[in-house]
Structure 1
């Protein structure tokens, strides 16, 4: 449709007019409009259950308040810092044992990856680490004066997202009359926790599944990544984010997996909260705007071989977040320890399953320990 109508066109989706943005420059222009398009449409499936709550589908003051609180709280817990790497690598150690137990025979990686990229990182952030029955708690009870001064996990007993949110609810309870727009309550706590789970697990797990599938298909690329891993990290220690600047090929492969995997093809829809100019057109207030990310990731004007897996096509864009750190550490750990291949006589299938996300069709994979 963009080829026929241009990079900015409108269409009716049901009874609602939607403007679709296509192409890198158009999306860049549209998404850089500040808070002109920061609101989300009101979808009945959400408003009937949890109206205007949380972060992902909230709008206006509530969205700004919850987003600011979530970002500052996660930053306080060290998300994006080196201290968070240990919990991510703990995830891999769990997965590694499970994968090795199949002894090179075909197995379904889907369930293992789906259930793993949350227990230690996201769960620990949201629910905290329960240590009441641990040796640390016993030492704290026996020697409280000493343990209050010594570092250790006994200081993190009540330091998680939920505790911080409950504290914020208590703060706003006393001044509710003076601040009628305060949005810290039980409903928002549930929805924000749900949003953090979704943002922190689904896209990462799908991208990892795409990554393993592409490595099994393009074995020569897998070998190059492993060669770089062996050169920079070796086999005697675990990967670190500090290794990433020294691993340009591995980084390029991860970026290319994200590009060609196209996990969130249409981003999430926005809605204009005032008239806005994009691509020479005036989009009125209250119109849904859909940024077509697929048009950027497969744009023939931006990529030499848009439909081919080519690890050198993407360059570093800058910026870090939990998903990117987790993706680098887990992907590198996978290829440091295992070589992946398709079962004998089976061809890799790259036609995606379509929903909000584009995920691989269910597949079986063989994983061989590299030291063997």
Structure 2
């Protein structure tokens, strides 16, 4: 018996070593990255960094290069870092990186449906329809601007009701941004006290806070096991179902309404196009109710969270910089005087336009860009990235790439101004991603940010509460990177 135990104690480590070497050999074609162990992959690196935040992949890129592989268990994820690598992937290899791939958690939620997570013909058809629907509903036109101006006025009125006292602007901002989206998708808006709106916000907040927990990582490693176990992942799926149920309920209501030939909102437009597709008897059509439900989810979730996060940062960043606020107000007075501000005025306000861009660059709202999947083997920077590989473009790294930005880690509106003070559109600014799958709501978001900020700054001076010298600009940890909770004073300028 002792001899058997001795043999096993010698043989087992040898077998484990051989297995590990075989594993390394099978992964030799992938770009380098943190050492990947069996089962856990490169997750030890996250533990070593004491958690995952926006700096983790940037630090890894400095060590392994701007194209590196992070193994999530046995699941390879190739991360593109820095402007050149991100552009090469999303633009130069746009066709090879056109498809979407989700981790097991988001795959279960999205099922590869909707405009955000579909691939191939299904995605192309829905993307084209969504672009036409948004154009039809006034995106980029005066009708859209009127909707945003209405929400900006609501925002001003609620801020004014605080009478200069410290208050948390998060829910107020979320409500205004959400209403721009719901007016497009559903044809109506929510009050800030609406229970459905509050439930929606809590659901989104839970999903985002869950995303970087140990339970989230365990689910990505062992989804089939975790599906049978209790834990926060169950609540995360319930939270996602809240959003999907809202989409289903709105679809039901629209189908019960009298048919219309003139769409009132996104759901109307999609249903009209669905009817046309039925008449064509096209078996490849992706225009069905399941894709509509998930498209509503995608457009609302993505547009709400990113624009809301940027606006929260905008108020905080400007409260820390009264000189920037004063300069913006001076430009507004010089250009429009007491007249109403419209979106076209951004062309005559280069400094204000630069500040909006710099807020997005300085505090990009998500930890990385949304993932892609290689549709074929991709030859990139000396590596052959196999077909079907998960690609994660680190947009944030491109926005703080020290090869292109003078002061990458400091707030500096001069990044977008020439020596004469004229606005400069920078190719390195990927605030809305780039390539064929760039942000669908870019035009809406640009208009929202400019109108909301100029309307607020015209009425209020933002400043920290008494006793607070300056707000921290370190983001909270999560899938998105919002500011840590804060209370601000909106002091009426006429006082």
Same fold, TM-score > 0.5, yes or no: yes
> 2:117 aligns to what SS in structure 1?
coil
The residue that corresponds to 1:10 in the other structure is: 69
Deviates more, 1:320-329 or 1:66-75: 320-329
The residue that corresponds to 2:271 in the other structure is: 166
Instruction: Please show how residues 65-214 of structure 1 align to structure 2 within 5 Å.
Output: 65-119=125-179, 121-128=180-187, 158-176=263-281, 179-214=282-317
- 2:81/2:398 contact within 8 Å kept: yes
Q: Distance in 2 between matches of 1:48 and 1:17?
A: 19
316, 320, 335: which one aligns with 2:425: 316
TM-score normalized by the length of structure 1? 0.87
Quote how far apart the aligned CAs of 1:97 are: 0.9
- 1:9/1:21 contact within 8 Å kept: yes
- 1:26/1:278 contact within 8 Å kept: no
Q: Distance in 2 between matches of 1:277 and 1:81?
A: 42
Quote how far apart the aligned CAs of 1:221 are: 1.1
- Cα deviation, 1:64-93, whole Å, max 9, x if unaligned, reads 111111011111122012331111010011
Q: Distance in 1 between matches of 2:320 and 2:367?
A: 23
1:48 and 1:296, CA in 2 relative to 1: closer, same or farther beyond 3 A? closer
- 1:128/1:157 contact within 8 Å kept: no
Deviates more, 1:37-46 or 1:27-36: 37-46
- Cα deviation, 1:166-221, whole Å, max 9, x if unaligned, reads 12222233444xx2221122211111111111232221111111011011101111
462, 471, 488: which one aligns with 1:348: 471
The residue that corresponds to 2:322 in the other structure is: 219
The residue that corresponds to 2:116 in the other structure is: 56
1:278 and 1:231, CA in 2 relative to 1: closer, same or farther beyond 3 A? same
Q: Distance in 2 between matches of 1:95 and 1:47?
A: 36
> 2:115 aligns to what SS in structure 1?
coil
- Cα deviation, 1:139-161, whole Å, max 9, x if unaligned, reads xxxxxxxxxxxxxxxx9974221
1:156 and 1:366, CA in 2 relative to 1: closer, same or farther beyond 3 A? farther
Q: Distance in 1 between matches of 2:70 and 2:105?
A: 22
Deviates more, 1:33-42 or 1:244-253: 33-42
The residue that corresponds to 1:149 in the other structure is: none
Q: Which protein is bigger by CA-based radius of gyration?
A: 2
- 1:169/1:185 contact within 8 Å kept: yes
> 1:48 aligns to what SS in structure 2?
helix
Quote how far apart the aligned CAs of 1:18 are: 1.1
Alignment of 1:285 onto 2:402: no
The residue that corresponds to 2:396 in the other structure is: 294
Q: Distance in 2 between matches of 1:263 and 1:196?
A: 16
Alignment of 1:41 onto 2:146: no
TM-score normalized by the length of structure 2? 0.66
Quote how far apart the aligned CAs of 1:49 are: 4.1
Alignment of 1:231 onto 2:334: yes
**Which stretches in structure 1 are left out of the alignment for 5+ residues?**
131-154
Deviates more, 1:38-47 or 1:211-220: 38-47
Quote how far apart the aligned CAs of 1:129 are: 5.2
The higher relative CO (CA closer than 8 Å, separation ≥ 6) is in 1
Instruction: Please show how residues 224-263 of structure 1 align to structure 2 within 5 Å.
Output: 224-234=327-337, 236-263=338-365
Q: Once superposed, what is the RMSD of the aligned Cα atoms?
A: 2.0
1:251 and 1:42, CA in 2 relative to 1: closer, same or farther beyond 3 A? closer
The residue that corresponds to 1:328 in the other structure is: 450
Structure 1: 4+ residue segments shifted above 6 A: none
Q: Figure out how many residues of one structure are paired with residues of the other and give that number.
A: 344
The residue that corresponds to 1:133 in the other structure is: none
> 1:277 aligns to what SS in structure 2?
strand
